[in-house]
């Protein structure tokens, strides 16, 4: 194949790689903007430094974002891991939702048995209060862990968006190199073309 044909092939490939880069960039921008809009809609604001727990005051991303609205994937990761994550350890002695929920189930089972046996007994009323407290803790943990999971999922999508942007940048560089290679082949083919007799 002659150099002009190879040059045209390089240009066609450059256009295809450029189009791929534009599609990747479009998807990256969509993902980033959508995440920003969704996070902004919820109106989550980082806790001011003065109101953070001592352990949270040692976390650089919480301190750096204190008082700011949560609008990016990286902020979502920080808030989920360190604001919610540390707060959750205080609800039921560090138990997870599943552990706390099971404890609540056991407490409700005791209440059912006690109510059947002696509904107005002081011990039964104490069990009812304990079961209510256990259920409230489990509900709080469920809400916290669900929010934490959603924020970490948002962070995951922001990482994908960043990877798409990097792939788009690589495509743009590749398209530029293919374009230059095609131009160089065309120029060198004209210089080396033998003179016709």
Report the greatest alpha carbon distance in the chain: 118
Contact 70, 44 (CB under 8 A): yes
- Say if 101 falls within a structural domain: yes
Separation between Cα atoms, residue 189 and residue 41, nearest integer Å: 59
- The 3-state DSSP class for residue 56 equals helix
Q: 8 near 191, Cβ under 8 Å? A: no
Separation of alpha carbons 174 and 196, rounded Å: 36
Tell me, yes or no, whether 137 lies in a domain: yes
Q: Does residue 174 sit within a domain?
A: yes
What 3-state class would DSSP assign to 189?
helix
**Residue 134 scores a pLDDT above 90:** no
What digits encode the pLDDT tens for the residues 78-101?
A: 999 999 999 999 998 888 888 888
Q: How far is CA 8 from CA 2, 22, 142, 156, 181, in A?
A: 10, 21, 60, 40, 10
> What residue has token string 């803790």?
137
CA distances (Å), 111 to each of 121, 140, 141, in order? 11, 21, 22
DSSP annotation of 84 reads I
CA 122 from chain center: how many Å? 49
* Domain containing residue 173: 3-192
Q: pLDDT band at residue 188, thresholds of 50, 70 and 90?
A: confident
pLDDT at residue 28, as a whole number? 96
| Separation between Cα atoms, residue 2 and residue 20, nearest integer Å | 27
Q: Is the pTM of this model over 0.85?
A: no
Decide if 197 is inside a domain.
Answer: no
Examine residue 18 and state whether it is found in any structural domain, yes or no: yes
Position 70 scores a pLDDT of 96
> What total number of domains does the chain contain?
1
In a domain, 124, yes or no: yes
For the cut 80, the answer to whether the pLDDT of residue 195 exceeds it is: no
pLDDT digits (tens, 9 = 90+) for 153-185: 999 999 999 999 999 999 999 999 999 998 888
Confidence class for position 102, pLDDT limits 50, 70, 90: confident
In a domain, 97, yes or no: yes
Q: Tokens 């409230």 sit at which residue?
A: 136
Distance, in Å, from the CA atom of 187 to the CA atom of 169, rounded to the nearest integer, reads 27
Instruction: Tell me how far apart the alpha carbons of residues 14 and 184 are, in angstroms, rounded to a whole number.
Output: 14
**Taking a C-beta distance cutoff of 8 angstroms, is the pair 78, 148 a contact?**
no
């Amino acid at each position: 194949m002659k150099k002009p044909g190879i040059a045209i092939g390089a240009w066609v490939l450059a256009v295809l790689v450029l189009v791929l880069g534009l599609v990747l960039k479009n998807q990256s921008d969509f993902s980033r903007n959508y995440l920003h809009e969704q996070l902004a809609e919820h109106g989550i604001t980082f806790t001011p430094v003065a109101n953070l727990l001592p352990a949270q005051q040692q976390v650089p991303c919480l301190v750096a974002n204190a008082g700011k609205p949560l609008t990016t994937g990286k902020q979502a990761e920080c808030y989920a891991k360190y604001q919610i994550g540390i707060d959750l350890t205080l609800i039921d002695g560090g138990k997870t939702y599943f552990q706390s929920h099971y404890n609540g189930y056991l407490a409700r089972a005791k209440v059912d048995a006690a109510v059947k046996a002696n509904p107005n007994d002081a011990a039964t009323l104490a069990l009812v209060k304990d079961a209510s407290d256990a259920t409230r803790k489990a509900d709080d943990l469920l809400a916290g862990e669900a929010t934490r999971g959603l924020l970490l999922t948002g962070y995951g999508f922001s990482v994908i968006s960043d990877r798409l942007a990097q792939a788009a940048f690589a495509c743009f560089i590749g398209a530029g190199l293919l374009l230059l290679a095609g131009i160089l082949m065309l120029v060198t083919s004209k210089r080396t073309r033998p003179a016709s007799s």
